[in-house]
């Protein structure tokens, strides 16, 4: 399999970042502060929305964005960060942009983070926020990136199980399966051994494939320390006994991302069980590009594509969303 080049924007962005040791060798508070700085630097100009409110959604801190006072539908946003990093401010820009592009309200969930709060704390918080959203809006969709994509997919499964209809699920390079030694992961490791050096990226001596695989393993360990729990459906949606009846999905993947395999496999399984699922792969991109609207034109394209899918999904289920 031929590996395409990293996009010019991705290469320049990575070159601008300080070279760091792997995250598992660093303090979690230092990592959180680094993510805040990187998100702020890459967010671009923040769009104006009609209102931004701090919400207590059944005991869970959230931020609600409204593009207008009459917004009747809501997109529940679940941020990424390996279940350990990220907060409302990190993803403020992308939430504003989605709210305006759809348009719909956006409820951003400030769920509890590992390692202080392990499974099921995060999914419990996301579920509580989703139930609150369903009680206050005409139609609800859910989505998130990376670990947030995991939590969004798990919440979509629970919504099916508990009878809450969702218009759509938007999963952005989601982590869905704790089987880090899958066939895709092994092939990724073999193909990407010299990827950094080949693309003149920072840390050229490092094994990008092996580091990516180890990173996935480490975040699962911090999120769910008990191995037997990692295969529960609301922990790893890929292992749910059935996906039939869950909300239709748009899955965004990045070409040079070990989690691309999770997204593709999940889409295949959704389709095999009668659920509409579309995969949008972004060539030349690495994991984490979606919310960096000021750094990547691909991020702006991905957000526009996501907003278009959400708008169509809301229009299909909610008269209030007709545009």
User: How far apart are the C-alpha atoms of 193 and 107, rounded to whole Å?
Assistant: 39
**CB-count exposure of residue 165 (10 Å: 0-12, 13-18, 19+):** exposed
Q: Which residues face 192 on adjacent strands? A: none
Structure token pair of residue 189: 């490791």
**If DSSP codes are grouped into helix, strand and coil, which group holds residue 7?**
coil
Question: Does residue 212 have an active-site annotation?
Answer: no
Question: Does residue 304 have an active-site annotation?
Answer: no
User: How far apart are the C-alpha atoms of 69 and 88, rounded to whole Å?
Assistant: 21
DSSP state letters, 76-141: EEE--STTTS--TGGGHHHHHHHHHHTT-EEEEE----TTTS-TTHHHHHHHHHHHHHHHHSSEEE
Residue 167 and residue 142 in contact, taking contact as beta carbons nearer than 8 Å: no
Question: Does residue 272 have an active-site annotation?
Answer: no
For the beta carbon of residue 106, count every other beta carbon within 10 angstroms: 30
Residue 158 and residue 234 in contact, taking contact as beta carbons nearer than 8 Å: yes
Specify the residue for token string 């990547």. 296
**If DSSP codes are grouped into helix, strand and coil, which group holds residue 215?**
helix
Q: Which candidate in 146, 182, 236, 306 is catalytic?
A: 146
Q: Which candidate in 79, 168, 256, 287 is catalytic?
A: 287
Q: Which candidate in 177, 257, 291, 306 is catalytic?
A: 257
The DSSP call for residue 5 is P
Give catalytic residue positions. 146, 257, 287
């Amino acid at each position: 399999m031929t590996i395409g080049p990293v996009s010019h924007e991705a290469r320049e962005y990575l070159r601008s970042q300080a070279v760091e040791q792997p995250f598992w060798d660093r303090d979690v508070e230092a990592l959180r502060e680094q993510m805040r700085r990187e998100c702020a630097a890459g967010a671009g100009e923040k769009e104006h929305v009609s209102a931004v409110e701090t919400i207590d959604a059944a005991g869970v801190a959230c931020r609600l964005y409204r593009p207008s006072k009459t917004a009747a539908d809501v997109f529940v946003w679940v941020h990424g960060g390996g279940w350990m990093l990220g907060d409302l401010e990190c993803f403020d820009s992308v939430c504003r942009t989605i709210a305006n592009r759809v348009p719909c309200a956006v409820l951003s969930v400030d769920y509890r983070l590992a390692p202080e709060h392990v499974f099921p704390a995060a999914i419990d918080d996301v579920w509580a926020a989703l139930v609150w959203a369903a009680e206050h809006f005409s139609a609800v969709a859910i989505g998130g990136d990376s670990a947030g994509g995991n939590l969004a997919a798990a919440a979509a499964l629970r919504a099916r199980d508990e009878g809450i209809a969702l218009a759509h699920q938007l999963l952005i390079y989601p982590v869905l399966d704790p089987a880090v030694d899958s066939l895709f992961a092994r092939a990724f490791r073999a193909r990407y051994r010299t990827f950094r050096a080949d693309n003149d990226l920072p840390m050229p001596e490092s094994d990008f494939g092996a580091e990516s695989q180890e990173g996935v393993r480490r975040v699962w360990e911090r999120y769910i320390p008990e191995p037997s729990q990692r295969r529960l459906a609301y922990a790893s949606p890929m292992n749910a006994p059935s996906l039939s009846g869950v909300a239709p999905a748009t899955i965004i993947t990045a070409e040079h991302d070990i989690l691309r395999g999770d997204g593709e496999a999940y889409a295949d399984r959704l389709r095999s069980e009668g659920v509409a699922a579309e995969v949008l792969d972004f060539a030349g991109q690495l994991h984490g590009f979606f919310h960096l609207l000021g750094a990547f034109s691909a991020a702006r394209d991905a957000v526009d594509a996501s907003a278009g899918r959400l708008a169509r999904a809301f229009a299909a289920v909610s008269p209030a969303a007709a545009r």
